[in-house]
Amino acid sequence: MVFISVLSAQAQGTFYNLNFESANLTPIPAGQYGGDVPISSALPNWSASISGVPVTQVLQNNYTLGAASIDILGPSWNQINPGIIDGNYTVFLQSNPVDSASIFQSGTIQANAESLEFESADILGTGSLTVSFAGNTLSPVLLSSGISPSGQPYDLYGANIAPYANHMGELEFTVPTTSPYYVELDDISFSQTVVPEPSIVALTAIGGLFFGARKWLARQ
């Protein structure tokens, strides 16, 4: 994966609780499952919906066995897959063939922001996480991969946000309808790191494969 680091300074604008650490919840003892909690306590500054229908409650330290839902995991959550990606809390979005799951909030992107970055863990390995700002679909590219302290593998993605710098709009993350699809989300940020468009990443990868093939043929 290729990307050009210009500056590492963060540029958050007027979005809040992008790492989900502002939750105000009564801890669930380790090894136990929680239940429904108000979204205002679990995800301050965020709203959520199932197939476009607003929800006022989310699951704490729990998840469904097929129903679409929005869940928050932490801090005593000690399971792996899904596990905590970073800090005390991670959001877990679940869709199914009928219903999608979304979280969103409105704000203004700082004037010098170049990219939107976020960490995500694809639990079942199917489907996709869609990201949009002000109704415009973004095109995240994979920047790197890692393993969290809890043992949860995750990927860091980046998307070009520069065209919307200093603009106000709704930032939305959606797990679309599929069969079924579960994804974790954490550590959303706006930064001054320039991220290439997916087409550039693809061309770079193709170029690398072509170069490797030429070297292999030369040895034959």
Give pLDDT, residue 125: 62
Higher pLDDT, residue 214 or 43: 43
Determine what percent of the chain is predicted with pLDDT higher than 70: 82
Give pLDDT, residue 128: 77
- Judged by average pLDDT, the poorest of 3-12, 64-73, 108-117 is 3-12
* Per-position b or e across 94-110, b if 16+ CB within 10 A of its CB: bbbeebbbbbebebebb
The stretch 129-156 carries a mean pLDDT of 94
The stretch 142-152 carries a mean pLDDT of 92
Q: For residues 92 and 82, is the Cβ–Cβ distance under 8 A?
A: yes
Higher pLDDT, residue 179 or 212: 179
**What residues does each domain of the chain span?**
36-219
Q: For residues 131 and 138, is the Cβ–Cβ distance under 8 A?
A: yes
* Class of domain 36-219 (CATH, top level): mainly beta
Give pLDDT, residue 206: 37
Q: What are 30-85's pLDDT values in tens digits?
A: 989 999 999 999 999 999 999 999 999 999 999 999 899 999 999 999 888 899 99
- Judged by average pLDDT, the poorest of 29-33, 132-136, 210-214 is 210-214
User: Could you tell me the strand order of the sheet in which 181-191 lies?
Assistant: 36-38, 57-60, 69-73, 90-95, 181-191, 115-122, 153-160, 141-147
Q: Is the pLDDT of residue 218 over 60?
A: no
Give pLDDT, residue 124: 72
Residues 184, 52, 68, 61: what is their CA dihedral angle, to the nearest 10 degrees? 50
The stretch 14-20 carries a mean pLDDT of 96
Q: Is the pLDDT of residue 211 over 90?
A: no
Q: What are 163-209's pLDDT values in tens digits?
A: 999 999 999 999 999 767 899 999 999 999 898 777 544 433 333 33
Residue 207 DSSP code = H
Q: For residues 87 and 182, is the Cβ–Cβ distance under 8 A?
A: no
Give pLDDT, residue 126: 59
